[in-house]
């Protein structure tokens, strides 16, 4: 099937670009044609493992056998596949109408990064790289089980990125896997460039606040999740993987919880949940207590708060929204700014603005304390995606308290819990206590 026509077809496909190199080699009755995209391939490798042997070998047959034996060799079946492989950095060698696909891809992004999002003190400091092959190499070398499966899907109609679905065949729940495959099939986006994008494409909801896949860059976390029966998705060109199905408690744990001694990790977990509660409830509590029921706090404290608010011209919720708004701006700005400037921005924003606001009595001193406490406790949430969701939830809580008072705040918390319980992550309940032996037996039956 691979005749001159096919060569012509491929040439036609690449007519628009001038980068397809076609090379004809002829020496001592040996004849070979090479096609490749110059920027994509490793030229030195091509030189050493194809061109040099071509001139050294005695016969064409010997050379053909040699090509077959190369580890980079890949069977060519259709001309579409050949075209795709050329774009992926393969070299096509044509000898007597026989086609040889050789993967000589030159990757400049296969260096493993340092952890930058999920930093820990204990444990490995290395993260994934931008290169899919390297990532799978990393994962495979940390997880030695023959049941580890990797499936590839190509997503994104224009940019044709490879997406790898990684799971342990013996541990994964089949229902989850089928749902993921089915939903991946339905993704018809033009460009898919990031794993976290899949979060939106796969959850079948237009409006969603809480992430249903957990983003991670740490190989140890990936391995831990695979061993726990989760499915990992990795997109080429992306140093982050997503694991699913994820439950709420996953977002509140770091890998370090397993590395510390028990009491220390309980303490750290307590800190984290306290931080979560503070960052959700504190601004709402301030509004509720100052504007609705100041008698809730003990008299001294109520007086201190009221005293600190003397001269503030706003009602408490405008004060809270005003300060929180600037805090959110500051957070957003410090992410987007170049590293050199962001330090200045935080100093100007945090220190100078904070002091000036209280001196101008646009906000009370206690408000500034609350805003900074809230900001710090948001950072305690270990998974970045959840921290973002919590920031939005906090605003909702302020609105609810403004309308319904302290009772509204309390009920808001219960409703939040109820909402989380009602959420699904690929068929698994998002929030649930897992301690019961009943559930465990259910789990065992399913797996």
Partner 1 sequence: MSRYYYYLILINMVANIIASVPAILLHSHKDGAVSAMILAIFVGTFLVTVYTRFFNAFPGRTLPELLQKTTAPWFYRPFVFFLAVMWFIAGVITLITFVFLLIRYLTPEMSINLISLTLILSVIFGCLMKTERVFYTVEIILLITIPLILFIFFKAYNNDHLEWDYVKDAALYVNKWPNIDAFSACFFLFLGVANLTIFNRFFTEKQKFGWKQIFIIAVIAMATLFTTYFIPIGFNGLENIGELVYPWISTSDSLRMEYFIIERVLFVFLLFYLGIAFLSILIHWHASMEFLKFVFNLEKIKYKGKKFGKFIPVPFFIGISLILVQLLNEYRLFLYTHYFYNALIVIFPSMCFLFLFIKRRMKYAEQANQK
- Number of residues this chain uses to bind partner 1 (CB under 8 A): 29
Q: Which of 113, 134, 194, 432 binds partner 1 (CB under 8 A)?
A: 432
CA distance 418 to 421: 5
Q: Is 445 in the site for partner 1 (CB under 8 A)?
A: no
Residue with tokens 């774009």: 87
For residue 390, give every residue at least 6 positions away whose Cβ sits within 8 Å of its Cβ, in sequence order, or none.
276, 279, 280, 378, 381
Residue 320, H or E segment:
helix 316-336
Q: Which of 1, 154, 274, 301 binds partner 1 (CB under 8 A)?
A: 301
Q: Is the dihedral of CA 133, 246, 121, 435 positive or negative?
A: negative
Q: Is 210 in the site for partner 1 (CB under 8 A)?
A: no
Please list, residue by residue across 150-176, b when 16 or more beta carbons sit within 10 angstroms of its beta carbon and e when fewer do. eeebebbeeeebbbbbbbbeeebbeeb
CA distance 38 to 76: 20
Q: Is 207 in the site for partner 1 (CB under 8 A)?
A: no
> What is the smallest separation between the CB atom of 353 and partner 1, expressed in angstroms?
28
Q: Is 211 in the site for partner 1 (CB under 8 A)?
A: no
Q: Is 15 in the site for partner 1 (CB under 8 A)?
A: no
Binding region for partner 1 (CB under 8 A) out of 54-62, 180-188, 377-385, 431-439: 431-439
Q: Is 271 in the site for partner 1 (CB under 8 A)?
A: no
Residue of 214, 221, 216, 225 whose CA lies nearest to 171: 225
Residue of 167, 241, 254, 248 whose CA lies nearest to 198: 241
Whether the CB-CB separation of 170 and 143 falls below 8 Å is answered with no
Binding region for partner 1 (CB under 8 A) out of 52-60, 217-225, 234-242, 295-303: 295-303
Q: Which of 297, 314, 326, 388 binds partner 1 (CB under 8 A)?
A: 297
Q: Which of 295, 335, 339, 359 binds partner 1 (CB under 8 A)?
A: 295
Task: Specify the 3-state DSSP secondary structure of 287.
Answer: helix
Diameter of the chain measured on Cα atoms:
102
Query: Which tokens hold the place of 49?
Result: 């493992």
Q: Is 298 in the site for partner 1 (CB under 8 A)?
A: yes
Binding region for partner 1 (CB under 8 A) out of 27-35, 117-125, 260-268, 296-304: 296-304
Nearer to partner 1, 222 or 398 (CB): 398
Q: Which of 154, 296, 348, 352 binds partner 1 (CB under 8 A)?
A: 296
Nearer to partner 1, 197 or 402 (CB): 402
Query: Which tokens hold the place of 141?
Result: 């070398």
Q: Which residues in 166-195 contact partner 1 (CB under 8 A)?
A: none
Whether the CB-CB separation of 38 and 19 falls below 8 Å is answered with yes
Whether the CB-CB separation of 103 and 87 falls below 8 Å is answered with no
Q: Is 444 in the site for partner 1 (CB under 8 A)?
A: no
274 to 293: interface string for partner 1, x by CB under 8 A: ------------------xx
376 to 415: interface string for partner 1, x by CB under 8 A: ---------------------------xxxxxx-xxx-xx
Q: Is 294 in the site for partner 1 (CB under 8 A)?
A: no
Bond before 245 cis per omega within 30 degrees: yes
> What is the smallest separation between the CB atom of 430 and partner 1, expressed in angstroms?
10
Task: Specify the 3-state DSSP secondary structure of 165.
Answer: strand
> What is the smallest separation between the CB atom of 162 and partner 1, expressed in angstroms?
37
> What is the smallest separation between the CB atom of 417 and partner 1, expressed in angstroms?
5
Residue with tokens 């995606």: 385
Interacting residues toward partner 1 by CB under 8 A: 292-293, 295-299, 301, 403-408, 410-412, 414-415, 417-418, 421-422, 429, 431-433, 436, 438
């Amino acid at each position: 099937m691979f005749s001159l026509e096919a060569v012509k077809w491929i040439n036609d496909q690449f007519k628009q670009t001038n980068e397809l190199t076609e090379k004809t080699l002829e020496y001592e009755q040996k004849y070979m044609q090479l096609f490749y995209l110059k920027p994509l391939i490793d030229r030195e490798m091509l030189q050493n493992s194809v061109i040099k042997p071509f001139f050294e070998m005695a016969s064409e047959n010997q050379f053909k056998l040699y090509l077959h034996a190369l580890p980079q060799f890949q069977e060519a079946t259709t001309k579409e596949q050949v075209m795709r492989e050329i774009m992926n950095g393969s070299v096509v060698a044509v000898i007597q109408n026989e086609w040889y696909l050789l993967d000589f891809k030159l990757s400049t992004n296969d260096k493993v990064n340092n952890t930058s999002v999920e930093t820990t003190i204990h444990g490995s400091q290395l993260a994934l790289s931008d290169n899919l092959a390297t990532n799978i190499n990393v994962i495979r070398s940390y997880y030695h089980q023959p049941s580890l499966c990797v499936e590839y899907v190509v997503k994104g109609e224009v940019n044709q990125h490879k997406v790898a679905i990684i799971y342990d065949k013996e541990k994964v729940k089949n229902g989850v896997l089928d749902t993921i495959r089915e939903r991946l099939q339905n993704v018809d986006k033009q460009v898919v460039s990031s794993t976290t994008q899949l979060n939106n494409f796969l959850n079948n909801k237009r409006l969603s606040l809480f992430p249903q896949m957990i983003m991670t860059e740490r190989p140890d976390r990936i391995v831990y999740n695979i061993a726990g029966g989760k499915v990992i998705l990795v997109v080429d060109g992306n140093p982050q993987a997503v694991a699913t199905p994820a439950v709420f408690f996953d977002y509140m744990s770091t890998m370090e919880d397993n590395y510390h001694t028990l009491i220390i990790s309980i303490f750290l977990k307590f800190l984290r949940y306290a931080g979560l509660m503070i960052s959700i409830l504190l601004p709402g509590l301030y509004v509720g207590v100052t504007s609705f029921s100041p008698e809730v706090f003990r008299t001294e404290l109520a007086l201190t708060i009221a005293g600190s608010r003397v001269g503030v011209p706003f009602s408490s919720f405008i004060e809270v929204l005003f300060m929180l708004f600037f805090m959110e701006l500051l957070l957003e700005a410090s992410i987007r700014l170049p590293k050199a400037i962001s330090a200045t921005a935080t100093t100007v924003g945090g220190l100078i603005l904070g002091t000036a606001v209280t001196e101008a009595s646009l906000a009370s001193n206690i408000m500034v304390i609350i805003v900074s406490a809230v900001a710090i406790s948001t950072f305690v949430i270990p998974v970045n995606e959840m921290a973002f969701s919590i920031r939005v939830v906090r605003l909702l809580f302020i609105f609810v308290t403004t309308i319904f008072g302290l009772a509204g705040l309390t009920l808001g918390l219960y409703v939040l819990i109820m909402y989380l319980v009602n959420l699904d992550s690929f068929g698994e309940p998002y929030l649930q206590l897992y301690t019961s032996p009943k559930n465990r037996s259910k789990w065992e039956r399913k797996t």
